[in-house]
């Protein structure tokens, strides 16, 4: 019995190491190259709990310009669903949508829809008036800071930066009630693969409440592949003692 336990433990550790290493930028780029030329498009990700257990698949759609309330805006969207592995324990989907002004790149509208099997759908719609410094949720107005972002527009804004020269970043985020601040630094990296050098930029940031509440903090690291539209290939989020990794697995 003891030998069986040791064997199963060893197998589990080796499996974790293999899965975790597959979330490294080199492995991610290598996998993308096997499929096709790396380019911008609809980005498909797989999320891992603790960097090991695949819990969700998500697609970050390519931004398109549409009309929203008579003004041109970037339409941003992302959709996610649980993997088959955890379907016996949890079944749910999520849809995020945002409209960001084409000039300021700040959101004018954000929508979130969560659906969990066995429960009623939970939705939220947020209207932003960036000029007046207010956002409206269910008829309730709340004060926001200039150029406040939602989660989708925040990533979109970072991708629009010149990540080769920008050294630090600060964004205001609010898509619920409280104002948050994202503070981070940008470092340059590179790796060689099949006689080609790929330039990377890593954004390491902390997200916390503006009111300095010590219990609402999280850390975020995003690795971008430059020269291809600053594609985020790896995302690490650490919050409430839980690590979530998301790696880019396919581009459509």
* SS3 of 117-136: CCCCCEEEEEEEECCCCEEE
Report the half-sphere exposure of 196 (CA within 13 A, side-chain side): 11
8 A C-beta contact, residue 56 and residue 44: no
Q: What is the DSSP letter of 164?
A: T
For residue 66, the SS3 value is strand
Q: pLDDT tens track of the chain, all 252 residues?
A: 444 433 333 333 333 444 445 689 999 999 999 998 899 999 999 999 999 999 999 999 999 999 999 999 999 999 999 999 999 988 999 999 999 999 999 999 999 999 998 888 889 999 999 999 999 999 999 999 999 999 999 999 999 999 999 999 999 999 988 899 999 999 999 999 988 999 999 999 999 998 878 778 899 999 999 988 899 999 999 998 999 999 999 999
């Amino acid at each position: 019995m003891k030998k069986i336990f040791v064997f199963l433990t060893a197998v589990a550790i080796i499996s974790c190491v293999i899965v975790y290493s597959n979330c490294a930028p080199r492995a991610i780029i290598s996998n993308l190259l096997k499929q096709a030329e790396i380019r911008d498009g609809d980005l498909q990700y797989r999320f891992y709990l603790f960097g090991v257990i695949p819990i969700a698949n998500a697609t970050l759609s390519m931004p398109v310009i549409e009309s929203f309330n008579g003004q041109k805006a970037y339409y941003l969207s992302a959709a996610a669903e649980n993997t088959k592995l955890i379907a016996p324990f949890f079944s749910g989907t999520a849809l995020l949508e945002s409209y960001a002004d084409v000039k300021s790149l700040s959101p004018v509208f954000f929508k979130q829809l969560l659906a969990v099997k066995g429960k009623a759908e939970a939705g939220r719609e947020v209207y932003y008036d960036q000029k007046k410094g207010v956002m409206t949720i269910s008829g309730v107005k709340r004060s926001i800071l200039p150029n406040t972002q939602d989660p989708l527009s925040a990533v979109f804004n970072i991708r629009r930066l010149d990540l080769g020269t920008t050294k630090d970043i600060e964004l205001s985020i609010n898509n619920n009630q409280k104002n948050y601040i994202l503070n981070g630094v940008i470092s340059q990296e590179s790796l060689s693969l099949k006689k080609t050098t790929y330039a990377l930029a890593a954004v390491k940031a902390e997200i916390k409440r503006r009111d300095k509440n010590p219990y609402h903090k999280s850390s975020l690291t995003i690795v971008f592949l430059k020269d291809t539209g600053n594609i985020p290939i790896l995302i690490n989020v650490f919050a409430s003692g839980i690590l979530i990794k998301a790696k880019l697995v396919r581009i459509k």
